[in-house]
A and B are shown apart, each in its own frame.
Chain A
């Protein structure tokens, strides 16, 4: 009889261990997946920037300085090693800000704004910028759930044995930090 109890206890422990381990692996995969989503968008943007240069070529005076800075930042971005997420995002944020000011300045160029190719390009770049922001939101939320699992008992034991590492959150650029607090209390009233 004691043997049976021992076996049952052992079996439960093993099952728990396996499921805790699998849970950690799954969450870590989410983090990696959401990073690769960001990466895809960064590459897309890098590919779009040469188009931006060639499209605006005909408009001789179009914000030379800003455009040059965009190209420089883009080249800088491609030179950063792939696993340095913080550095990548830092340069990417600078590039986002510069691109945004470039778009704002395009208001002064009615000819350029009317150009369909430029319009399409603007849409593509805006889309990429938004997708970067949303993927970063997803990345940070999956990093948060991995951190909870690594730190909380008892899954922290399994995390320690298998050397799971906490990931750093990605910095959100200053101008995007003013996120509204969503308050559901007002919305949770029954129908009248």
Chain B
């Protein structure tokens, strides 16, 4: 079961990378055609720029994600003994190395895991979760996060995030260029044609940007939250802890420190978007649903 999940995640990582690669090529080709009348060189340059940007993002992803969510690292057990001990326990029983530990200063209870691999992973929790949850409940939450690490969910998420950031950067760059560059072309021969193309392309780019974001969200499928819940119980052998933790997380105010782009990483939706365009675009399954499945164990 777990191994199926890991294999599926590795395959999906491949699909996501392929999809984004195509998107980058398209944007690059469009830019190249527009500015140099040469779509090939545009595509190549865009691909190289996106690749380099992505590699930098991935190698720095943990630090980037943590600073976007205002998390500070703790490096010693004495700074948060209970949290540290629980992460140690879950890493021990899940047979993964000890992740880095971060704390987010926010009264709303929440937590997430990130990283490139089980060897380079990190877990972050809010101060709210430390205050409101008892040891058993926190253990269920940490078990959930360690399961994301063990399933390679974190790698898929990191790559999807890096890719959508790369696309975002290209789109941003392109639309700026169109804005300023558009003026210079006034006296050009193909004035009207150029403007029409510029218009079409900027519309396309504007459409592509949110598309990239939603592909990323699709990759961070809701199903994996259910799976991480089940795997957590497999580690802790205590569904009650996670159930009452989820209740407390559900029954709380939205977070302030969370970054909107990483909202899908959290164990519970940090912004409490209950009915935003229905369930189709929800990043998290309804907590009542998750509790119902846990109660059946």
Contact = CB atoms under 8 A, between A and B. Distances in A.
Interface of A: 37, 120, 123-124, 126-127, 130-131, 134-135, 137-138, 179-184, 186-191
Closest 6 CB pairs of A and B: A127-B85, A134-B93, A179-B237, A187-B230, A187-B226, A182-B234
A167 to B, nearest CB: 19
Given A126-B135, A182-B230, A189-B223, A135 B92 contact: yes
B239 A180 contact: yes
Nearest to B226: A187
B231 to A, nearest CB: 8
B222 A134 contact: no
Contacts, number: 61
A188 B85 CA distance: 31
Given A120-B81, A191-B223, A183 B296 contact: yes
- Majority SS at the chain A contact face: helix
A188 B221 CA distance: 13
Contacts of B174: none
Nearest to B221: A191
B89 interface: yes
Interface in B212-230: 221-223, 226-227, 229-230
Given A126-B135, A188-B1, A189-B223, A183 B297 contact: yes
B103 interface: no
Contacts of B223: 187, 189-191
Contact of A130 (B89, B222, B227, B239): B89
A184 B230 contact: yes
Contacts of A190: 223
Contacts of B135: 126
A138 to B, nearest CB: 6
Contacts of B297: 180-183
A134 B92 contact: yes
A33 to B, nearest CB: 11
A14 B89 CA distance: 41
Interface in B229-245: 229-230, 233-234, 237-239
23 contacts: A123-B85, A127-B82, A127-B85, A127-B88, A131-B92, A134-B89, A134-B92, A137-B93, A138-B92, A138-B93, A180-B233, A182-B230, A182-B233, A183-B230, A184-B1, A184-B227, A186-B230, A186-B296, A187-B230, A187-B293, A189-B223, A189-B226, A191-B222
Given A124-B81, A184-B230, A186-B230, 12 more contacts: A37-B92, A123-B82, A135-B92, A137-B93, A138-B92, A138-B95, A180-B237, A180-B238, A183-B230, A183-B297, A187-B230, A191-B223
A84 to B, nearest CB: 24
A27 to B, nearest CB: 14
Contacts of B237: 179-180
Contacts of A191: 221-223
Among B226, B237, B293, residue most surrounded by chain A Cβ atoms (within 10 Å): B237
B275 to A, nearest CB: 17
Nearest to A138: B93
A123 B135 CA distance: 10
A37 B230 CA distance: 26
A136 to B, nearest CB: 10
Contacts of A187: 223, 226-227, 229-230, 293
Interface string B272-294: 00000000000000000000010
A13 B66 CA distance: 53
Contacts of B89: 127, 130-131, 134
A153 to B, nearest CB: 24
Contact of A186 (B85, B239, B293): B293
A154 to B, nearest CB: 24
A130 B143 CA distance: 14
A152 to B, nearest CB: 20
Contacts of A120: 81
Contacts of A181: 297
A31 B85 CA distance: 23
Contacts of B1: 184, 188
A130 to B, nearest CB: 5
Nearest to B95: A138
A186 B293 CA distance: 7
